[in-house]
Amino acid sequence: MSHIVSRIVSIVAGLFGLVYLAPSLARNLAFFLLPQALAIQVFQLTPGSFSSPMQALVQMAFGVVLLVFAYRRWRTPPRKLAQYTRHQEGDRVRFAILPATAPVSVPLVLFTVILAATTVSGSAGGIWILGIVFVAITALLLLVDQRGTKAGQPRSLRLGKDGIEFDGTFLRREDIHHLTIRNKFAGDVEIVYDADRGIPTGRLLGVAARKKLATVAYRVEIESGGKAHLVAAGLDAATARGIATEITQGLALGA
């Protein structure tokens, strides 16, 4: 079911990306691919003309963000949980680690995308400046993995009794000081209620998104030579503990 939903999200994001990147092309495709009644609705929602060259650039930037997101979402199958496999290579064991897909907070993204679409399509003079801000926020939410640049990348490591090898680096067993599991998003977040102002919607959505992200933001690190080395990231708690245990037992740390 999650795979089907991901594909639907990709198609919708791609369609609206075309709407903002190339309005005339989107209109023609709508009448060619969609039933007439639905195509008319798309025609009415499609930006017609630009009030200024800057507004045109902002709208096209918004379209590019949506298209890139649609492409990535379509290409990468969603994984709610991380996973790893192991196989023997001589006297060593190789681990192949697949991180969990960074979750997208649908309410937060919709909230931001709607604001971005409203501002980039506005006809009032200078509103495109506000559109730049919301397009940038949308790009941050949709295209940047908040867990870190390596959190969404598959990882591989080789483990033996004498040490561990990953990212072209070999750490000897005797040089390893500590192995730890970290999660910078797992801390408690306090929401202070103001009786006069209530709780801002954006604040609530942000906290909910942070909690959702925290479930797959665990990382395993090894400390050696006064430096923390990233072994794996983008993990759920169970997978992080499993990998940490495998390393501890493989290296016989504490023995």
Residues 69-78: tens digit of each pLDDT: 989 888 877 7
| Residue 83 within a domain | no
Kind plus residue range of the DSSP H or E element containing 55: helix 53-75
- The reply to whether 148 and 211 lie within a common domain is yes
Which of 31, 46, 76 represents a domain boundary (last residue)? 76
CA 150-151-154 angle, to 5 degrees, is 80
Structure-token pair, residue 177: 């000081």
Q: Which of 18, 45, 76 is the last residue of a domain?
A: 76
Measure CA of the first residue to CA of the last residue in the chain; give whole Å: 46
Residue 85 falls inside a structural domain: no
Supply the range of the domain harboring residue 212: 90-255
Inter-residue long-range contacts of 211-214, CB under 8 Å, 24+ positions, other chains counted = 211/185, 212/103, 212/105, 213/102, 213/103, 213/105, 213/146, 213/147, 213/185, 214/183, 214/185, 214/186
What's residue 112's pLDDT? 76
Q: What is the Rg, in whole angstroms, of the alpha carbon atoms belonging to the chain?
A: 23
**Domain check: are 215 and 129 in the same one?**
yes
Mean pLDDT (the chain) is 77
Same domain, 155 and 181: yes
Residues 95 and 72 in one domain: no
In a shared domain, residues 54 and 94: no
pLDDT (tens digit per residue) in 153-195: 899 999 988 889 998 889 998 888 888 898 888 754 333 333 3
Q: Are residues 69 and 94 in the same domain?
A: no
**Can you give the pTM of this predicted structure?**
0.70
Shared domain check, 189 and 108:
yes
DSSP state at residue 198:
B
Q: Has residue 66 got a pLDDT over 60?
A: yes
Model confidence at 30, in pLDDT bands (50, 70, 90)? Answer: low
Note whether 37 and 105 are same-domain residues: no
Given 76, 104, 126, which residue is the final one in a domain?
Answer: 76
Taking 50 as the threshold, does the pLDDT of residue 199 lie above it?
no
The number of domains in the chain is 2
Q: Are residues 94 and 69 in the same domain?
A: no
Q: Which residue has the higher pLDDT, 219 or 57?
A: 219
CB 230 within 8 A of CB 157: no
126 vs 248, which has greater pLDDT?
Answer: 248
pLDDT value for 205: 47
Question: Could you tell me if residue 82 is inside a domain?
Answer: no
In a domain, 81, yes or no: no
Say if residue 164 is in the same domain as residue 202. Answer: yes
Cβ(18)–Cβ(29) under 8 Å? Answer: yes
Per-residue model confidence as pLDDT tens digits over 205-233: 455 567 778 889 899 999 888 888 999 99
What span, in angstroms and rounded, lies between the C-alpha atoms of 135 and 229?
34
What integer pLDDT is reported at residue 98 of this predicted model?
Answer: 94
List Cβ neighbours of 243 (8 Å cut-off, separation of 6 or more): 84, 95, 97, 220, 231, 232, 235
